């Protein structure tokens, strides 16, 4: 420990702590825009400059560590003046039309501008030329270069966390710009569309494609039946944008709000998560029996960001992906088939919407194999952020909305379906049912909890690149592994290809912490990593569910009995599975 003084108060902090972190730990606010703990420590914005006794100049607090006896001032006139000037310079290169910005209200630059009372900027506005602002508006991820403050967070997150390096710097000094790497357009690089660059951008320079208007048009179309599904992880985040407590922000309240917007039917994707487990778990046991997994494991396929990643980075492993569609696409397929017949409608008469914590889902629903006879399984995807803004735009007072149950026919779900939203949840749910399918009896519902994420979640990085578990099933020793973030995915895939590790079944989620930390989740603009805490909410729901095994979901069992026969049946293969080789990224 070292002894330091911050603004006249003596404190102790660990040796090697940065001045910024030391201040944060002791409740002293130092403004910053580019800093991301463990990811982006470059001092580019200069907003965190402080006075240190013995130093002639102000120094950036993010990239300088404390030392014994250090005396720090964060509140002097010199510091505030420099911070204000730096803020004005940043604003001079930022499109400050806030009312229509996606980050209006959660923008860190907007917040600082208000704090420093910037009403008139003495520096002239200098926005990038058309060369840097052109962007394909149909791509699921949108970049507005006129709002970029060159903090380089997107570059660091994509390189250090996701290992893809989609973003790069071009130029130098005042002519520096963030561009797509290699001088290419975004649709020509192996972007996974994970959205981590969006959630870690301090301003509105990056956001998802806004598809709300398409949904509104469908709701207002008298010839369309509108159906919406809500993904498991959405329930752990949506209330953050509405100012609701965890107890208040139930999934049934969200269902009530969506009915109030005009949707005809509201369902929970947790139903099809259970359905996915039945198909994927059965597929795993079949491939294991056939010897298909002797060299490489079977990989989960419910995360579209991960599927895009493996297709571009490890094409030799694509054949090891489960052929099961994701819960989103399974639900869409069943909606346009089983459900459509039950209400006497043709598939084309139904407009199917999914509410997802994910930006890559927008691309997944457009994959050519995710449709039948020219009719898409899922017509439109809204992120958690989009749906909360949609509800607000409809003039709905969330405090006056009544909770409602999900529509029947496909309304039941189990705790196993809910935990799909947390890293390790897919694997845990699959193992619960795989155990039953082999032995004929249920394991303890928490028997495979070792695959759950550990740690507090204060940092985006996991304690280890992946977690593993070994257990015996029907006399055979099985080894499984779980990883989240594409950087960790790269590490485990390389180890598998190199032959340094051997597993039978591997779950991978593109976003750190799984869907709970998805690229479409709520952004509060405070740089707090919330994936772990959101994941804990999902496990709490699972713990309190009466049914915790996918194979006991009565609506899933009814679907098989009435129409689909059994997992891996001919019809199940036709409607619930896909060909990963039939399309290109």
501 φ, ψ (degrees, to nearest 5): -135, 155
372 φ, ψ (degrees, to nearest 5): -135, 125
Same-domain status, 245 and 379:
yes
Among the three residues 52, 76, 91, which one is the final residue of a domain in this structure? 91
Q: What is the pLDDT of residue 458?
A: 55
Report yes or no on 218 lying in a domain: yes
Q: How far is CA 126 from CA 24, 146, 149, in A?
A: 33, 9, 12
Q: Are 82 and 66 in contact (CB under 8 A)?
A: no
Q: How far is CA 474 from CA 222, 280, 289, 341, 549, in A?
A: 55, 19, 12, 40, 19
Among the three residues 37, 65, 91, which one is the final residue of a domain in this structure? 91
Report yes or no on 145 lying in a domain: no
User: Tell me, what CATH number does 385's domain have?
Assistant: 3.40.50.1780
Same-domain status, 349 and 492:
yes
Report yes or no on 343 lying in a domain: yes
| Pair of tokens at residue 53 | 């006794």
What is the rounded CA–CA span in Å between residue 349 and residue 353?
13
266 φ, ψ (degrees, to nearest 5): -125, 125
Q: Are 480 and 427 in contact (CB under 8 A)?
A: yes
The number of domains in the chain is 2
Report yes or no on 320 lying in a domain: yes
Tally Cβ neighbours within 10 Å of residue 426: 30
Same-domain status, 244 and 386:
yes
Question: Could you give the maximum distance between any two Cα atoms of the chain, in Å?
Answer: 80
Please identify every stretch of the chain with a pLDDT value under 50, giving residue numbers as ranges. none
Q: What is the pLDDT of residue 226?
A: 98
Among the three residues 52, 71, 91, which one is the final residue of a domain in this structure? 91
Q: Are 328 and 378 in contact (CB under 8 A)?
A: yes
Sequence-ordered list of residues with C-beta below 8 angstroms from that of 76, at least 6 positions apart, any chain:
51
H or E segment and range at residue 243: none
**Are β-strands 49-52 and 59-60 bridged in parallel, bridged antiparallel, or unpaired?**
antiparallel
Q: What is the pLDDT of residue 555?
A: 94
Report yes or no on 237 lying in a domain: yes
Buried b (16+ CB within 10 A) or exposed e, 289-317: eeebbeebbbbbbbbbbbbbbbbebbeeb
Buried b (16+ CB within 10 A) or exposed e, 375-396: bbbbbbbbbbbbbbbbbeeeeb
| Pair of tokens at residue 453 | 């994420």
Angle between helix 212-219 and helix 384-393 axes, rounded to 10 deg: 50
Q: Are 31 and 83 in contact (CB under 8 A)?
A: yes
Same-domain status, 217 and 83:
no
What is the rounded CA–CA span in Å between residue 191 and residue 135?
15
Report yes or no on 511 lying in a domain: yes
Sequence-ordered list of residues with C-beta below 8 angstroms from that of 523, at least 6 positions apart, any chain:
103, 106, 198, 199, 385
What is the rounded CA–CA span in Å between residue 275 and residue 272?
5
User: Tell me, what CATH number does 6's domain have?
Assistant: 3.10.20.740
Q: Are 128 and 170 in contact (CB under 8 A)?
A: no
Q: Concatenated DSSP letters for 160-200? A: IIS----EEEES-GGG-EEEEGGG--GGGS------HHHHT
Closest CA to 552 of 406, 408, 446, 417: 417
What is the rounded CA–CA span in Å between residue 506 and residue 296?
10
Report yes or no on 104 lying in a domain: no
| Pair of tokens at residue 327 | 């819960």
| Pair of tokens at residue 501 | 């590790």
Q: How far is CA 240 from CA 23, 478, 489, in A?
A: 26, 40, 29
Q: What is the pLDDT of residue 487?
A: 97
485 φ, ψ (degrees, to nearest 5): 85, 145
| Pair of tokens at residue 232 | 């498991």
421 burial (CB, 10 Å; 0-12 / 13-18 / 19+) is: buried
Report yes or no on 175 lying in a domain: no
Q: Are 133 and 145 in contact (CB under 8 A)?
A: yes
Between the two ends of the chain, the Cα-to-Cα distance in Å is 51
Q: What is the pLDDT of residue 457?
A: 56
Which residues in 231-362 belong to E strands, given as ranges? Answer: 265-268, 298-299, 350-356
What is the rounded CA–CA span in Å between residue 42 and residue 342?
58
416 φ, ψ (degrees, to nearest 5): -65, -35
Which residue is listed with tokens 């870690």? Answer: 200
For 427, the domain range is: 210-573
Same-domain status, 254 and 402:
yes
SS (H, E, C) 431-500: HHHHHHHHHCCCCCCCCCHHHCCCCCCCCCCCCCCCEEEEEEECCEEEEEEEEECHHHHHHHHHHHHHCC
**Are β-strands 206-208 and 141-143 bridged in parallel, bridged antiparallel, or unpaired?**
antiparallel
Sequence-ordered list of residues with C-beta below 8 angstroms from that of 137, at least 6 positions apart, any chain:
209
């Amino acid at each position: 420990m070292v002894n330091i003084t911050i603004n006249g108060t003596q404190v102790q902090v660990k040796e090697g702590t940065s001045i910024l972190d030391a201040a944060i730990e002791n409740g002293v606010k130092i403004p910053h825009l580019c800093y991301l703990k463990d990811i982006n420590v470059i001092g580019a914005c200069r907003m965190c400059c402080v006075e240190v006794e013995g130093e002639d100049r102000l120094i950036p607090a993010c990239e300088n560590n404390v030392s014994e006896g250090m005396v720090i001032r964060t509140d002097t006139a010199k510091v505030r003046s420099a911070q204000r000037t730096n803020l004005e310079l940043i604003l001079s290169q930022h499109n400050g039309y806030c009312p229509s910005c996606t980050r209006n209200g959660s923008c860190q630059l907007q917040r600082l501008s208000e704090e420093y009372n910037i009403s008139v900027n003495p520096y002239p506005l200098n926005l990038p030329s058309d060369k840097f602002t052109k962007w394909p508006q149909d791509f699921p991820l949108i970049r507005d270069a006129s709002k970029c403050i060159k903090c380089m967070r997107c570059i660091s997150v994509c390189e250090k966390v996701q290992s893809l390096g989609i973003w790069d710097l071009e130029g130098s000094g005042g002519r520096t710009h963030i561009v797509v790497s290699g001088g290419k357009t975004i649709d020509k690089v192996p972007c996974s569309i994970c959205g981590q660059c969006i959630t870690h951008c301090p301003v509105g320079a990056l956001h998802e494609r806004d598809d709300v208007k398409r949904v509104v048009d469908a709701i207002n179309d008298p010839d369309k039946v509108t159906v919406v599904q809500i993904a498991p992880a959405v329930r752990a985040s949506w209330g953050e944008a509405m100012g609701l407590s965890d107890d208040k922000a139930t999934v049934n309240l969200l269902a009530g709000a969506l009915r109030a917007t005009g949707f005809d039917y509201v369902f929970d994707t947790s139903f099809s998560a259970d359905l996915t487990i039945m198909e994927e778990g059965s597929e795993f046991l079949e491939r294991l029996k056939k010897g298909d997994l002797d060299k490489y494991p079977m990989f989960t396929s419910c995360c579209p960001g991960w599927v895009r990643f493996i297709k571009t980075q490890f094409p030799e492993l694509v054949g090891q992906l489960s052929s099961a569609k994701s819960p989103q696409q399974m639900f869409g397929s069943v909606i346009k088939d089983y459900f459509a017949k039950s209400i006497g409608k043709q598939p084309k008469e139904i407009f199917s919407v999914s509410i997802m914590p994910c930006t890559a889902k927008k691309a997944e629903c457009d994959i050519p194999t995710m449709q039948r006879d020219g009719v898409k399984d899922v017509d439109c995807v809204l992120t958690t952020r989009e749906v909360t803004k949609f509800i607000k735009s409809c003039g709905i007072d969330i405090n006056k909305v009544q909770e409602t149950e999900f529509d029947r026919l496909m309304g039941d779900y189990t705790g196993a379906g809910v935990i799909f939203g947390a890293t390790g949840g897919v694997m845990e749910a699959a193992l619960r049912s795989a155990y039953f399918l082999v032995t004929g009896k249920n394991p303890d519902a928490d028997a495979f909890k070792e695959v759950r994420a550990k740690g507090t979640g204060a940092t985006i990085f996991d304690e280890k690149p992946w977690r593993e578990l070994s257990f015996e099933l029907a006399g055979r020793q099985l080894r499984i592994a779980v990883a989240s973030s594409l950087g960790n995915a790269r590490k485990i895939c390389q180890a598998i290809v190199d032959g340094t590790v051997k597993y039978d079944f591997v779950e991978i989620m593109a976003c750190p912490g799984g869907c709970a930390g998805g690229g479409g989740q709520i952004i509060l603009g405070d740089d707090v990593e919330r994936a772990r805490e959101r994941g804990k909410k999902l496990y709490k729901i699972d713990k309190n569910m009466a049914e915790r095994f996918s194979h006991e979901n009565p609506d899933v069992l009814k679907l098989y009995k009435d129409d689909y026969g059994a997992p891996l049946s001919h019809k199940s293969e036709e409607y619930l599975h896909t060909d990963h080789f039939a399309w290109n990224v």
